[in-house]
Amino acid sequence: MNKPVLTIVVPCFNEEEVLPDTSIQLSNLLNNLIDDALVSKGSTILFVDDGSKDLTWEIIEIECEKRPFVKGLKLAKNVGHQNALIAGLETASKQSDCVISIDADLQDDINAIPSFIEKYWEGFEIVYGVRGSRETDTYFKRTTALGFYRFMNRIGIKLVPNHADFRLMSNRALMELFKYQETNLFLRGLVPLVGFKSTKIYYDRKERTAGESKYPLKKMLAFAFDGITSFSVAPIRLVTLIGFLALVISLIAGGYALIQELLGHTVSGWTSLIVSIWFVGGLQLMGIGIIGEYIGKIYQEVKRRPRYAIEKDLYSSHVKEQHQKEAVLN
C-alpha cells in the first residue's frame, strides 16, 4: 500500500489569536507523520477562512509563505462552520487519499492523529475522535450534552456520543458523503449514514488557549435544534401528541362543566376561561412555529443555492504547481 496523501482541514472564523500556534503544531505533527512513513510527502494542512472579520486570512497567507505544508482557502463570506468544513473537505478530496478535520483552537488533541492514520492503514475508512470524558465541561454543559445524545438516539438519529467534527475520512467515504446535497448541513448526523468500516479513537479534550469559543449557549441550542429538525419529524409528532392530550383534557373539562350545570353548581368567573384560552393559544403558536421551521427548511432546500463561494484558493494552485513539476521531471 502506498503512503496516503493526507490533508488536515481546519475551518477558521476570527481565529487570529490561535492560528500561528496552530500552524506550528500541525506542521510539526505532519512532519513527524512523514518521517514515520505514515503519510506521503505531498500531505498538507488546509486552513479555510469562513469570512473572518479579523486578520485570519492575512495570517493564513503569511503561514503559507513560511511553512511548506500550509495552504489556504478563503470563502467569499461567512457561511457557518458546517458549510466551511464541507468546502474544505470538497477541495481537499480532489488530491487526498484521506482527510482529517479539526477545529482551529486545537482543543481536540492532535496527538490522537497518528492513531487515526494507523487505523486508516488497518483498513478503516472513517475514524471518529471521541472525548474520553467531559470533566473539563461545566455541570450544565455536561448534563445537556448527555441529554441531547440520549434524545437523538431515542428519536432514531444515530450519532456518535461525545464526537464533534474531529474525524478522519477516506476519499471513498468522502465521495459518498458528498452525495448528500442538503443545504441544512449536520455532518455529525450525515457521516454515520455513509457507512463503511469505522472505529473510534478516544482522547482528552483540552482547554482553549486563546480567543473565544465560537459556540456560545445560543449557538449550541440552535445547532442542536437544526440537527433534530434536519433528521427527524419527531417534533411535529410531539406537537400532534400535545394537541391530542389538550383535546382530551378539554373534553374532560367540558364534561365536568356540563355535570356541574346539570347539578346547578356553576360558579361564574373568567379565570378558567382566560387560562384555557392562553393554554390552547400557546399550543397553537408552538405548533405553528415548529411546522414553520420545517417549511422553512424545505424552502431553503428547494432553492438549491450553493453552500459557499470561494474567493481565493491557495490549495489547488499548489497542487497544480506540483503536477507541473512532476510532469517536467518525468
DSSP string for residues in 88-106: HHHHHHTT-SEEEE--TT-
Q: What are the pLDDT digits (tens) for 130-188?
A: 887 766 666 666 677 777 777 777 766 777 778 888 899 999 999 998 888 887 777 88
Decide which of 325 and 96 is more confident: 96
**Does pLDDT of 328 surpass 50?**
no
For residue 252, count CB atoms less than 10 angstroms from its CB and return exposed for 0-12, middle for 13-18, buried for 19 or more: exposed
What are 79's three cell numbers?
Answer: 457561511
Q: 185, 225 in Cβ contact below 8 A?
A: no
Cβ–Cβ under 8 Å, residues 1 and 121 = yes
For residue 3, count other CB atoms closer than 10 A to its CB. Answer: 17
pLDDT digits (tens, 9 = 90+) for 13-38: 988 888 998 899 999 999 999 988 88
Pairwise CA distance, residues 33 & 36, whole Å:
5
First to last CA, the chain: 22
Q: What is the mean pLDDT of residues 229-256?
A: 68
Tally Cβ neighbours within 10 Å of residue 268.
4
pLDDT at 326: 46
Average pLDDT over residues 230-234: 63
Q: Given this model, what pLDDT does residue 254 score? A: 66
Residues in the chain: 330
Residue 71 is given by DSSP the state: E
CB-based contacts of 43: which residues, under 8 Å, 6+ apart? 5, 6, 7, 8, 30, 33, 34, 69, 96
Averaged confidence pLDDT in the chain: 78
Alpha helices in the chain (DSSP H): 19-35, 56-66, 81-93, 113-121, 139-154, 171-177, 187-194, 217-231, 234-263, 271-303, 314-329
pLDDT at 291: 75
- Return the H-helix or E-strand segment holding 169: strand 163-170
Nearest to 50 by CA among 14, 104, 22: 14
How many other C-beta atoms can be found within 10 angstroms of the C-beta atom of residue 242? 13
Answer for the pair 158, 192: CB distance below 8 angstroms, yes or no. Answer: yes
Please identify which residue in the block is written with the cell numbers 492532535.
Answer: 110
On the question of pLDDT at 66 being above 80, the answer is: yes
Residue 122: strand, helix, or coil: coil
Rounded (5°) CA angle 229-230-231:
95
pLDDT tens, 270-313?
Answer: 456 656 676 677 677 777 777 777 777 777 677 777 888 888 88
Decide which of 127 and 2 is more confident: 127
C-alpha cell at 327: 510532469
Q: Specify which residues 200 forms β-bridges with.
A: 128
Query: Residues 195, 175: contact at Cβ < 8 Å?
Result: no
**pTM (2 decimals)?**
0.73
Model pLDDT, residue 127: 92
Distance, in Å, from the CA atom of 31 to the CA atom of 150, rounded to the nearest integer, reads: 40
- The residue with greater pLDDT, 97 or 206, is 97
pLDDT level of residue 330 (50, 70, 90 thresholds): very low
